[in-house]
Structure 1
Amino acid sequence: MSTIDVGDATVYYEQRGRGPVVLCISGVTGDAGLWTETAEALADEFTMVSYDRRGNSRSPRPQHWISTSVDEQADDAAGLLRGLDLAPAVVLGASGGGVILTNLVLRHPEVVRAAIFHEPPFVSVSSDADEVGRLMGVLFEKGMATGGLAGALVALLRWSWGEEGLAALEPQLRERLLSNADVFLGVELGAFIEYLPTPEELSRVKVPRIVTAGADNRDPTADYHHGYEESQWLATQMHTELFELPGGHVPYLTHPAALAEALRPLLHALCAQSGPTGSCRT
């Protein structure tokens, strides 16, 4: 098992393949295993790196760690890249990982060669933010009533990931994810909800970048349509394009092979933008 010390945390990570470096940052449940199939599919051309965020799954909870911030989470990502001598890298952040990536490009741009943001949940900018907040509260309460923190997490994941996303989890991965319920709901959630950079900050991002959203979420009647809207908002603020990926909020679970093939040309294009050699890192 590969681990590295990052600040006051020990972080488990996975690295596979060769070629330009791509770091994948997970959101809710913070587990590297969410990326396994997509990373294996891309490992023929890229060095794929993922990690269990601090306190999640195989990354032990630091002593006396009872709160976090998006700054802290971004510092961990930067520390991981520096510690492994993989900076700068293309960084792909999905869901809450996209929130972390936003902070990373603002505070540690030197470790990011290029960035891909997939549906970061900046809920307050969506057209139905109040209803989304109300629904999350209802789901949390119902889940807690039937299954405690793990039940609340399952309810939230069923809403955002869909039944297909939950069904794609292998038993061992599902067990790890549910064991992170207290970290997400008790430590992380508030920090992620509160974080929203200003349009002025976002307009100053200089690294090559794209924003993506799930094609299934384009429909205004989709359960997670607000994620598509939030991606549209971020693309506008960062003066970049919005690309659609197969599936919805978690294509790395529901469409891992199709996601890899959709990402491949985007990664090559970003590498070509990032330097005169056309390579992120060789």
Structure 2
Amino acid sequence: MTTPTIGHLRAPGANLRYEVRGSGPLLLLIPGGAGGAAAFDGVAAGLADEYTVVSYDPRGLSRSPLDDPEARQSVEQHADDAFRLLELLSPGAPARVAGCSSGAIVALHLLVTHPGRVERVVAHEPPVVEVLPDAAEHRALLARVEDTFRREGLMPAAAVFAAGLKRPGAEAPAATELPPQAAARAERTMGDMPYFLGRIVPSFMAYTPDVDRLRALSDRLVLAAGEESRGELPYRSAAFLAERFGTELVHFPGGHVGLTTHPAEFGELLRKVLSA
């Protein structure tokens, strides 16, 4: 694995830790969940022979601390962090951007607000549930998650959240044996789960994208979803937008976390759609 160069960027209210690999046009990778930059370890090195690959820990995760640990979070603020990284690391040229899950929501907002800085965006399963016809049901899910978190704690709330993302009637997936590095990474992310579930999920899943503006920019937007997550909530959001824009929904290997479970195949397809 290519050893990254570590950098830090001071942003309003936070100190962002980022990693840089390779050379060439800038590719900014925006992680979802609580995984941080390490979520892209399985694909970043392979992309670094073609791009300057930048991954980072979003504000509030363990290696990108907030000045105020209790500060409210917003998609807009996280997208501004991504923009600041582009300004720092690719000041004279537009960049390519790929985001997964909540990171894909950030990527969508970045495209809308700074289209001149973004050449191509790959958004893998952004859970922008407010675009769906049954958005009210998903608001009720988030309310149940928040209530469970407050009354019973992290793990029961996480179980309610995970169940709500699945397609109706779906059985729990069989346990998947992760590669050793991925398993160790998953264990490390648990410390950031209260922050993610308590402050990222409620804010990000209440976000409503500018659909008209995204449609106008859809020639540089790739909406993607996992082969194994058909019918699940984040899949439905991506599919809905692709249908609205009249664009292809690109299917990646695995499910919502195919980046972790199928890193080689995920990375190769990502390379293809970035250069298409």
Normalising by the smaller structure, the TM-score range is 0.7 to 0.9
Residue 189 of structure 1 is matched in structure 2 by: 201
Query: Unpaired runs of 5+ in structure 1?
Result: 270-282
CA distance in 1, matches of 2:176, 2:149: 18
Q: Are residue 6 (structure 1) and residue 11 (structure 2) matched?
A: yes
TM-score (norm 2): 0.82
Is the alpha carbon distance of 1:155 and 1:194 closer, same or farther for their aligned partners in structure 2, counting shifts above 3 Å? closer
CA displacement 1:168-207 (0-9 Å, x = unmatched): 5645422431111232133222210211124323223266
Superposition map of 1:1-282 within 5 A = 1-29=6-34, 31-63=36-68, 65-85=70-90, 87-126=93-132, 129=135, 148-149=153-154, 152-153=157-158, 156=161, 167=178, 170=182, 172-205=184-217, 208-218=220-230, 220=231, 224=232, 226-269=233-276
Moved more, 107-116 or 175-184: 175-184
* SS of 2:222 mapped into structure 1: strand
The whole-number CA distance in structure 2 between the counterparts of 1:166 and 1:24 is 25
Q: Secondary structure at the match of 1:227?
A: helix
> 2: CA distance between counterparts of 1:258 and 1:5?
34
Shift of 1:48: 1.4
Question: Could you tell me which amino acid in structure 2 is paired with residue 256 of structure 1?
Answer: P
Q: CA distance change for structure 1 residues 135 and 68 in 2, over 3 Å: closer, same or farther?
A: closer
Identity of aligned residues (%): 35
Cα distance change on mapping 1:206 and 1:121 into 2, 3 Å: closer
SS in 2 for 1:180: helix
- Judged with a 3 Å threshold, the aligned counterparts in structure 2 of structure 1 residues 131 and 197 are, in CA distance, closer, same or farther, namely closer
Q: Structure 1 CA distance, aligned partners of 2:83 and 2:183?
A: 31
Summarize deviations over 1:40-59 as a string: whole Å, max 9, x none: 12222222111000010211
Retained in 2: the 8 A contact 1:101–1:117?
yes
* Helix, strand or coil at the partner of 2:96: strand
Deviates more, 1:9-18 or 1:173-182: 173-182
Q: Which amino acid in structure 1 is aligned with residue 238 of structure 2?
A: S
- Kept in 2, the 8 Å contact 1:6–1:83? The answer is no
Cα distance in 1, alignment partners of residues 176 and 213 from structure 2 = 33
Deviations 1:95-143 (A, max 9, x none): 1111111111111122211111111002234465555556666677778
Q: Distance in 2 between matches of 1:12 and 1:119?
A: 24
Q: CA RMSD in A?
A: 3.0
SS in 2 for 1:189: helix
TM-score for both structures, normalised by structure 1: 0.80
Aligned residues: 263
Q: Deviations over 1:220-239 (max 9, x none)?
A: 4xxx2x32221122223444
Deviation at 1:75, TM superposition (A): 0.3
